[in-house]
Amino acid sequence: MSKQNVKSIAETKKVNSELFSMTYGALVVQLLDDFESDEEVNCQLDKIGYNIGQRIVDDFLSKNPSVGKCFDLKGVSSVLVQALKIYMGFTASVTDWSPAADEFSLVFDGNPLAEFVELPQEKHANLQYSQAICGAIRGALEMVHLEVSVRFVRDQLHDGTDNEIRVKLVRKLDDQLPVPED
């Protein structure tokens, strides 16, 4: 692929953040209408994010050829912070590493998905409105052969002024070649 075919990040068209957050909000409202419980909606949002993450990792790596192979989770976390800034528009801090260095937190203030949102706490106390972010992280890391569990620890919509996502390495996935047909 020639350098002329690769677009830089600066040349990429961006979606207005207000349009993005309103569209996401409409999606969440529709899911709340379609499913009976907050847990089912959380699962659907996670699946949507997972599918996005699986596709967006290729886009990120093709537009950032200087990103090399990460040899540990600390390297992965720094690339993840970079990707969140590009695709979500917020800067996260990596904090609270586990002693085994297999788990960390991403802490960030602004969340473009939750920009115009107020959750009715009594009706949707278990809704993880931004669960798609967790799914996207999980999907993207699976594409680079890392199985992780990702969950919100703190959400500005529920109980605070900031957000915290916890990422835990479950295992490294092996490359698997397709079984040849005879």
pLDDT digits (tens, 9 = 90+) for 69-126: 878 888 899 999 989 888 888 888 899 999 998 999 999 888 877 777 777 767 877 8
Q: What is the DSSP letter of 10?
A: G
List the structure tokens of 146.
């890392």
127 and 43 Cβ atoms separated by less than 8 Å? no
Strands (E), 7-145: 93-95, 103-108
pLDDT score for 126: 83
Confidence of residue 1 (pLDDT cuts 50, 70, 90): very low
**What average pLDDT does range 135-142 have in this prediction?**
93
Confidence of residue 64 (pLDDT cuts 50, 70, 90): confident
The residue that leads in pLDDT, 108 or 159, is 108
Q: What is the dihedral angle through the alpha carbons of 92, 155, 151, 86, rounded to the nearest 10 degrees?
A: -30
pLDDT score for 177: 55
The kind and range of the H/E element at 56 are: helix 38-63
List the structure tokens of 121.
């706490």
Rounded Cα distance between 105 and 53, Å, is 18
Most confident of 5-14, 151-160, 164-173: 164-173
List the structure tokens of 109.
């203030």
16-114+128-172 carries CATH number 3.30.1380.20: yes
pLDDT score for 14: 60
pLDDT score for 43: 94
pLDDT score for 13: 56
pLDDT score for 181: 65
Domain borders along the chain are 16-114+128-172
pLDDT tens track for 15-52? 567 777 788 878 888 898 899 898 999 999 999 999 99
Rounded Cα distance between 118 and 92, Å, is 22
46 and 116 Cβ atoms separated by less than 8 Å? no
